[in-house]
Chain A
Amino acid sequence: MTADSHALTTTGHGPVATAGHGPATAGHESRGGISNPILGMLLFITSEVMFFAGLFGAYFSTRAAHSPWPPDKFAGTLNPIGLILIATIILVMSSVTCQLAVNAIRRGDRTAFMRNIAVTFILGIVFLIMQMYDYSVLFGEGLTMDAGPFGTTYYTLTGFHGAHVFGGVIMLGVVLYRGTAGQFSARHHDAVEAASLYWHFVDVVWIILFSVLYLLP
Chain B
Amino acid sequence: MATTTIAPATASTYRGGLYEWLTTTDHKKIGIMYVISSFIFFLIGGLLALGVRTELAQPGLQFVSNEGIYNQLFTMHATVMIFLFVIPMLAGFGNYVVPLMLGAPDMAFPRINALSLWLLPLGGILLLSSFLLGGGAQAGWTSYPPLSEDRPLASTGYGQDLWIVSLILIGTSSILGSINFLVTIFKMRAPGMTLFRMPILVWTVLVTSVLVLMATPVITSALIMLFIDRNYGGHFFDPATGGSAVLYQNIFWFYSHPAVYVMVLPAMGMISEILPVFSRKPLFGYKAFIFATAGIGALGFSVWAHHMFTTGAVFLPFFSLMTFLIAVPTGVKFFNWIATMWRGQLTFSTPMIFALGFLTMFLIGGINGAFSASVPVDFALHDTYWVVAHLHYVLFGGSVMGVFAGLYYWFPKMFGRMLDETLGKVQFIIMFIGLNLTFFPMHMVGLAGMPRRIADYANSGWTDLNLLATIGGFTIAASMLPFIWNVFVSLRSGKIAGDNPWEANTLEWATSSPPPPYNFDHLPEIRSERPLFDLRHGKTGH
Which residue numbers of A lie inside 8 Å of B, CB to CB? 1, 3-4, 7-8, 15-29, 31, 33-34, 36, 39-40, 43-44, 46-48, 50-55, 57-58, 61-62, 65-66, 144-146, 148-149, 151-153, 156, 160
Nearest A-chain residue to B10, judged by Cβ? A21
Shortest A135–chain B CB gap in Å is: 13
- The answer for the CA separation of A43 and B177 in the assembled complex, in Å, is 11
Confirm or deny: B260 has a beta carbon within 8 angstroms of a beta carbon on chain A.
no
Given A28-B187, A145-B228: A17 and B220 interface contact (C-beta under 8 Å): no
User: Complex: how many Å from CA A37 to CA B277?
Assistant: 36
Question: Is A58 in contact with B191, judged by CB distance below 8 angstroms?
Answer: no
Q: How far is the CA of A28 from the CA of B518 in the complex (A)?
A: 12
Q: How many interface contacts (CB-CB < 8 Å) are there between A and B?
A: 152
Contact in complex: B521, A146 (CB < 8 Å):
no
A44 to B109, CA, bound (A): 13
Q: Contacts A40-B108, A53-B218, A55-B221 hold; do A62 and B247 have CB atoms under 8 A apart? A: yes
Chain A residue, CB-CB nearest to B221: A54
Contacts of A160 in B (CB 8 A): 224
List B residues at the A interface (Cβ < 8 Å): 8, 103-106, 108-112, 175, 178-180, 182-183, 186-191, 213-222, 224-225, 228, 232-236, 241-244, 247, 250-251, 254, 516-518, 520-523, 525
Q: Which A residue sits closest to B254, measured CB to CB?
A: A54
Residues on the A chain within 8 Å of B106, using CB: 24
Closest A-B pairs by Cβ, 3 of them: A146-B233, A54-B221, A51-B217
Closest to A43 in B: B179
Contacting residue for B234 out of A18, A44, A152, CB 8 A: A152
Alpha-carbon separation in the docked complex, A217 to B516 (Å): 63
Chain B contacts for A39, CB-based, 8 A: 182-183, 186-187
16 pairs, A vs B, C-beta closer than 8 Å:
A17-B525, A21-B518, A23-B518, A28-B189, A40-B109, A40-B180, A43-B179, A43-B182, A50-B214, A50-B217, A50-B218, A53-B217, A54-B219, A58-B251, A145-B232, A156-B228
Question: How distant is A53 from chain B, measured CB to nearest CB, in Å?
Answer: 7
User: Which of the residues B110, B214, B220, B234 comes within 8 Å of A46, measured between beta carbons?
Assistant: B214
Chain B residue contacts of A40, Cβ below 8 A: 108-109, 179-180, 183
Q: Specify which of B8, B175, B188, B225 is in contact with A156 (CB 8 Å cutoff).
A: B225
A27–B187 CA distance with the chains assembled, in angstroms? 11
Are B182 and A18 closer than 8 Å at their CB atoms? no
Given contacts A39-B186, A62-B243, contact A16 B108 (CB under 8 A): no
* Whole-angstrom CA separation of A145 from B227 in the bound complex: 13
